[in-house]
Amino acid sequence: MTSHFDRELDVTGLNCPLPILRTKRELVRMDAGQVLRVMATDPHAVIDFLAFTEKTANRMVDYWDTDGIYYFLVEKAD
């Protein structure tokens, strides 16, 4: 997938809650409107990231999986 992103965060090998916690920490360092691409391997990552974006003002731009790696594009809220 070649969607635009401003930063990338690799949380492969980590399990809940670490992928979400590290994503939150990275988003704090970003400007509103920037997109973070997160790579995860936790099988619950899809559920966790969808819940995270529903409960925060951040927006899930897209997500997909390839060969056991889940990719998430999260746009930082204003």
SS (H, E, C) the chain: CCCCCCEEEECCCCCCCHHHHHHHHHHHCCCCCCEEEEEECCCCHHHHHHHHHHHCCCEEEEEEEECCEEEEEEECCC
- pTM score, two decimals? 0.94
The answer to whether residue 57 is domain-embedded is: yes
pLDDT given for residue 1 in this prediction: 53
Whether residue 36 is contained in a domain is answered as: yes
| Residues labelled as active-site residues | 16
Judge whether 25 lies within some domain: yes
Q: Each residue's pLDDT tens digit in the chain (78 positions)?
A: 557 999 999 999 999 999 999 999 999 999 999 999 999 999 999 999 999 999 999 999 999 999 999 999 999 998
1 occurs within a structural domain: no
Counting the structural domains of the chain, the total is 1
Identify the domain containing residue 51 by its residue range.
7-75
pLDDT at position 2 is: 53
Residue 18's CATH number: 3.30.110.40
Q: Which of 11, 9, 76, 6 is nearest to 45 (CA)?
A: 11
